[in-house]
Structure 1
Amino acid sequence: MVLDPRLVLVLFIGTCILAINGDTDPNDVASLKVLFQSMNSPSQLNWNGDDPCGQSWQGITCSGNRVTEIKLPGRSLSGSLGYQLEPMSSVTNLDLSNNNLGGTIPYQLPPNLQYLNLANNNFNGAIPYSLSEKTSLIVLNLGHNQLQQALNVDFQKLSSLSTLDLSFNSLTGDLPQTMSSLSSIRTMYLQNNQLTGTIDVLANLPLDTLNVGNNHFTGWIPEQLKNIIQKDGNAWSSGPAPPPPPGTPPAVARNRNHKSGGHSPSDGGSSDGGGKKSGIGGGGIAGIVISILVVGAIVVFFLVKRRPKKSFNDVEKLDNQPLAQNEVHEMNSMQTSSVIDLKTFDTSATPISLKPPPFDRHKSFDEDEFSNKPVIVNKPTKVKKTVTAPTNVKSYSIADLQIATGSFSVEQLLGEGSFGRVYRAQFDEGKVLAVKKIDSSVLPNDMSDDFVELVSNISQLHHPNVTELVGYCSEHGQHLLVYEFHKNGSLHDFLHLPDEYSKPLIWNSRVKIALGIARALEYLHEVCSPSVVHKNIKSANILLDTDFNPHLSDSGLASYIPNANQVLNNNAGSGYEAPEVGLSGHYTLKSDVYSFGVVMLELLSGRKPFDSSRPRSEQALVRWATPQLHDIDALAKMVDPTLEGLYPVKSLSRFADVIALCVQVMSVMFHLNFYLVNRLYITCFGSLIEL
């Protein structure tokens, strides 16, 4: 009998609620306590007890039993924001400006925020993509921090945003095209960053104030923005701007009577003395021009139709020009693949037969003209992909990486995975990075375009728990990826290769690692579009930084390498694969969840997923452990002995319940199970870390 996961969710939430007393919503209490601890437990706040609303905690505003505002500007707060703000679904105002808070801005933020002010702190890393889903945002102020990387936010749903301040950071890359959807924006501060490209995407926004000074913007300033923009410190193009593309509506200057009291230049038409308009208006001139164009087109059409045949030279001229619609019908009857507009064939859609139809040699060509032209029969033309090198990551040379890795010496080898070896790279400026050298058997030398496309896709993945790609190298047929380096190495080494200098992972750290990887998978599965199936989740691909925050490595790699499934299937038998992967060879979102459950079981037991040194009945970890997950006595005997019993029994039991949900038979597992797993962690995390 399989227990309905939805019923399990209700039971778990119920037990979590019972575990916390007080009038304030228990989710809000647990979230504020995690926030308090993450901010180094500031004594000046006097957050004591378990009832923020009833006890009137400083900076906390409530409505009923729900927290609605957290306003703590200028309180000399330090530390970070933690990882459990999302359950606070009634919070609309979060103001922690003018403090000394740092770290990355958490991906999980209150879902219904209207005002978010984190200005004048020390936040670093990327702006979280999750802000794309905060549809109620009116004011977003992240100015005066140390934020980096490209502005990877989708603004399409932020139609209520009125004020955006990202000034005085280190943001790079072009402005996203989705900024054109900011239909309510009035104030925008982007100055003192490293932004590039043009600002054309801002041209038609209803802005009153715009500051883009001290960036690397280029191109021309749109006419609509010239009266409001602060622009110094950029490389603007000089001279008159090029005309807009055909069909572009004319620029309309904004009426700013509320500021200047005058009329905009476009308010009135041309006048003559006493105000009489000229005899021919703009509409009349346009009508004349259009009439001339139409008549000219008709004349050209009949001249072309009267030509009995095309010469060979005419055809040569057409080779590099798109075909008019009426000519496409004619050319379909010819066996001249060089003339067919290949852009009409979408190779990613349903396969299309490129076999040319029979052609009549005498229909459009003279025989003597065409006989000298080579003809390729029944051979489809291969469309060469045009791949643009990514601009948001650095391109390294082979020489740079050889110097940094000691010519890829064994002493710098960090590990070897399914796709290649990873080396430690020490650069002159003191920066340490990790370099993955992809095996030629995985990505052959002649697949450079595929590699650049792979890099471009992976460079778009930004999450605090996903290892960040910072660069790449594609030279002399070699393909290398450069990632951020994490000092504490992999979770596999920490669990299974302890040395005299490392201490065992405490229970809090294990739960923190599980939660971080759950969030990384939620990002890959639910936020990325299309979803990214990792395919290779294992403890060796979970890297730990100095604070034991987990970072999932190789994210996206298996999704974009053409023969990745074959490579991974060749390495089967590790114990992480879901049963259906072994049967079909196909990876899915559900198989990722299964592998995640195996990692959790690894964290709980300290055992390897498959260990041939153990008795036969205990070699396969999932098979051995699953029957014991709901037996509290047997569960206690399964726990990693290095923990020495230092864990809360209730937390252990819930941890085991989540594992059971992940590794159950896939045929009865529905997709929302992973959503359920993540929500279980968020809801119960306060109880899970009790010691």
Structure 2
Amino acid sequence: MAKASSGWFRAASGMAPLGFSAVVMLLMATAFLGVTADTSSDDVTALNTFYTTLNSPWQLTNWVAQNGDPCGQSWLGITCSGSRVITIKLPGMGLKGTLGYNMNILTALVELDASNNNLGGSDIPYNLPPNLERLNLVNNSFTGTLPYSISQMASLKYLNLGHNQLSDINVMFSQLTNLTTLDLSDNTFSGTLPDSFSSLTSLTMLHLQNNRFTGTIEVLSDLPLTDLNVENNQLSGMIPDKLKGINNLQISGNSFSNSPAAPSSPPSTTSQSPPRQPSKRNPGNSNKNPSTGSNGDSSGNGGGGGGRSSKVGGGAVAGIVISLVVLGAMVAFFMIKRRPMRGQRREDPEKNEPLTLRPIASGKFNQLRAINIISPTAKEGLQKTVSMNLKPPSKINLHKSFDESDPTNKVVMAKNIDLSSIRATAYTVADLQMATESFSADNLIGEGSFGRVYRAEISDHKILAVKKINLSALPSNPSDFFIELVANISKLNHPNISELDGYCSEHGQYLLAYEFYRNGSLHDFLHLSDGCSKPLSWNSRVKIALGSARALEYMHETCSPSIIHKNFKSSNIVLDNELNPHVSDCGFADLIPNQELQELDENSGYRAPEVTMSGQYSQKSDVYSFGVVMLELLTGRKAFDRSHPWPQQSLVRWATPQLHDIDALDQMVDPALEGLYPAKSLSRFADAIALCVQSEPEFRPPMSEVVQSLVRLVQRSSMGSVLSGESNSRRYDDSGDYTF
């Protein structure tokens, strides 16, 4: 560069001038270098994708679909600090489409305002910028579920998602302690208000009007609210005294009670609130005074006021006495009805009732054994136990005795589910806490979309993998849903599907226990080599593909009704000691809404094009995901890898054009195989992949055909002979399976 400057100086002074064209090229190169250096490459990539998903609107001046320089070229609505994009403000521009799937790489972005547009028609993408302070998507057309990634936005101060068509809250608000404004109004949300609302310790404005929320607003009692609007929902119960003093309180269109809070019930009737006495007004008497309970004009009627008043007082007393008698009879009825139920449960204390908490007599709450639980987010204090008390869940009232009639404690049985038909062990929270050392970080072996997975040592000879389901992943009636989920999963019976060993549903905790496989997941085996494990041989890779294919074939074509996996990927394939594959997370499809939360890079590479476009899963989208896993086995590369140049980041996009080119195919093979594979087997494997990852779902084969193609591959690949570099004990059998 110094020589170029010197040459330019000489040219200007008439000494050894450079050619004019060379000078122009030098200036253009200098300008180009200056432009491309202005904006972070990650930010450019994210905005390019965003522009494409908006269908490249003409309104966005200076925006381009590839490369470009948002900061240096002053893209409309973009503000930068240095080389990083810090705000995107595009309100009211008539934009259509949706947000980009990779906006999580905009790590410096603090404000995103796409309000008053026509965005949506699908869920809000999962991969939102992680460090946002303000997110405004009001008045668009987003549908479905709030992305769980909002739960992790600890810096968020302003969140406005009003006037959309959102229906489910899949967010835990526990970490959003900086949030001051939350607007979810004019959507279709239903169910009770999330318990985690109580963690919004900075919230001053909350708008929930025009939804279908039910239950009480007690969870909002301790928030520093100055503006609360819950109009036109289906809320009920009492308005907490602390909320009555809010300057801007709007509560009409609900069924709140205006009466003062009822006194505490006796311990024996904690969960049975006395029925509110109906107002038995005489239709012809519309001037009853609600404050006194008397009828007639309070000023009396001529000179007969005294006698009339006496008669009315006697009638009122008689009415009160009758009401008390009726109330007493009702209370007695419920108590008598409950006693036989208690006695019946105590007759057989050892009976295996997996989800029934044993009742504890009133006044004996202190005898309840404390259950120690560890907050899964606390890494440093994991050895310090805290009494479950019970947090989570916050719904349990510690001032009440445990009583089977208490709706916050009673386990709600799933309708039409026979618990005795569940082929799995019912563990207690205490059992699994002891087995996982209070869910310690040392026993944490993985984390997925629905929760964390821990190693649990039940006994010297029994080790399990315990999945602790996030409450936010479950619907508003988690107990009912969870039992049905367990019942369905326990029915799955296939050698290549992870077998459910047990489950636990106590105190708001929902856990699933599976057999523990020491070789971990296929993803880790392929991509996270510890230097000690040997690379997977070609035989093992075909074996894993065939076993996994048979698992999907069983789910699609044997189970009735058929089961779609929705989340098939290499990290959901675990390997036993013989490297046999076992597909996990089977039966979890109901936890994954269409256009679901998985926009993470590690998952984006597995999604079929139609899932990305419409959010609709099918058996054919599972076939596509299976083809991606086969590509991983073939190449040893991840489904999506940002460390590669952009054209190579998506494994399918990079590999598909080369699958039918023999020379290119040899170059694609995982170098860890060191050339030890039969060429014909490799070619047939690639042919199966090409069919599975076709962009049009109708051209993808059913899994039964995929299984047959892999079986034929095995049968035709030098049966009875030894592949290069393999031991003599490793061969194929007639069934198409490998024998060792």
TM-score tier, shorter chain, comes to 0.3 to 0.5
* Bigger Rg, which one: 2
TM-score w.r.t. the length of structure 1 is 0.43
Higher relative contact order (CA 8 A, sep 6+): 1
